[in-house]
Structure formats: C-alpha cells, structure tokens
Amino acid sequence: MNRLTQEATAFAPATIANVAVGFDVLGFAFDGVGDRVTVRRSDSPGVRIASVSGESLPADPQENTAGVALLSMIEDLDLEQGFEVALQKGIPLSSGLGGSAASAVGAVVAANHLLEMSRSREDLLPYALAGEAVASGAAHGDNVVPCLFGGLVAVIPGVSGMTPVHLPVPNLHCVLVRPNIQLATKAQRQVLPATISLTEHARQSSYLAGFVSALHTGDVALMRTTM
C-alpha cells in the first residue's frame, strides 16, 4: 500500500508590492484574499494544469506561473514524478495583488509537502521566482517573498539569491481599495524608464531609508513624509 501523501493544498495570500517608496524592494502579505492551489502526484512526467476556477488562466504549464514554478522544481531536484495542479483563484487578474506570485508560491509549497525530502522556504524561493518571471517579465521578489514568508519584508539581494528581511509594522491597518480595472504587470514594467538620474536615485534612497527607519521607530509623521 502506498502511504505517500497523494494530494496537498496550500493557501497563498495576496500581496501588496512596491510599498511606498520601496519599488521592487518592499512588500507585505494581505491574508484576507488569496489563492488555493492543490497539487497531486502524477506518474506522468512534467506538469499538467488540471483545472482553474475563479479566473481564466493558461492551461499550458509553460505559460502558467504555477506550472513554470513546478517545472523549475522538477528540473532542479531531478524528480521522476510529475504533478497535476488545480488552481482556485481568489485574487483577481492584473489587480496589483500579486496573483501570479500567489499561484507560483502555492504550487511549490503544496508540492513540497508531497516530497519526502522537505525543502525550506528559502529553497523554494527560486522556483516561485521562476514562475513569477513568466507572468511579469522579471523575477522581482516583492510579491513572491512576502507571499512565501509573510509579514512586511524588504527583499535584499545576496550571494545565494534574494534574502527576506522582516520589518516591524507600527499599529496601522491596511485598507484595500481596488478599482475594477486590469493592469498587467509585464505591460506596466515595459513603460518604466530604463535609467534615472543620480539626483533622483539619491532622493529615492533617502526616502526609502527614512521609511524603513519610521517602521522601526513607529514614527508615523516620518512615515507620512517619506511616502
């Protein structure tokens, strides 16, 4: 009798990225909304997107963030087995709430539960980033990292990849207001300038430093100024 777990479901929360002046640097998890990703063992190699509910997403695993994340995991770990994926989307498409990141994170967390050699969240991060890249055009971590690790985080580049640094949160609340429009991340990133001036870089850096300081001290007035 095969006693291995055959199916696992993970909840992946929505995320708010580019927090204040932290473009591609700061993000936080918002657990009131999220995706549920169910991953099943398969004797067939590769990944099959078995079903998607709540939104319309590509069934081709090479174009689906959950599929790409799992394919990256299979290749890196040299797995002989494959996976079937069922996505229950609770995050609207192109809503700025990290829907692509949530699908990728939920998939690798659920798959990790099925494997005998359990991997840490740090180990899972590159797979989820590979999934995010196919949707947004860049492997930026300010949605993936808070979705995977929770809380408010700064995404710091390190020798072995991205490192999450958790930041304190003052006694504040997040009110989520979402207009009924869609703005695809990949399209929005394409209109950004490739370079900025030294003056603008210094100004942005000073605001970011002030904002992070305000988080640590609880200085709401400074936070308001640096935002």
Closest of 185, 182, 183 to residue 24, by C-alpha: 185
pLDDT band per the 50, 70, 90 thresholds, residue 108? very high
CA distance 111 to 10: 9
CA distance 155 to 161: 10
CA distance 186 to 145: 18
99-114 vs 121-136: helix axis angle to the nearest 10?
140
The first and second tokens of residue 138, run together, are 């860049």
% of the chain exceeding 90 in pLDDT: 56
CA distance 12 to 66: 12
The first and second tokens of residue 160, run together, are 């072995």
Beta strands 152-158 and 47-53, pairing class = unpaired
Quick check: 144 pLDDT over 80?
yes
- Predicted confidence at residue 159, as pLDDT, reads 56
Closest of 183, 38, 164, 24 to residue 97, by C-alpha: 183
Going by the DSSP 8-state scheme, the letter that residue 171 receives in this structure is S
CA distance 53 to 197: 45
Q: What are the pLDDT digits (tens) for 176-197?
A: 887 787 777 777 777 888 898 9
What is the C-alpha radius of gyration for the chain, rounded to an integer number of angstroms? Answer: 18
Counting Cβ atoms within 10 Å, is residue 80 exposed (0-12), middle (13-18) or buried (19+)?
Answer: exposed
Counting Cβ atoms within 10 Å, is residue 157 exposed (0-12), middle (13-18) or buried (19+)?
Answer: exposed
Please give the residue that has the higher pLDDT: either 90 or 185. Answer: 90
The first and second tokens of residue 209, run together, are 């430093």
pTM given for the model: 0.88
CA distance 122 to 185: 24
Helix (H) or strand (E) holding 2: none
Q: Which residue matches tokens 């989520």?
A: 176
- Predicted confidence at residue 80, as pLDDT, reads 87
Q: By mean pLDDT, which of 61-65, 76-80, 159-163, 221-225 is the weakest?
A: 159-163
CA distance 85 to 96: 23
What is the residue type of 94?
A: S
pLDDT band per the 50, 70, 90 thresholds, residue 1? very low
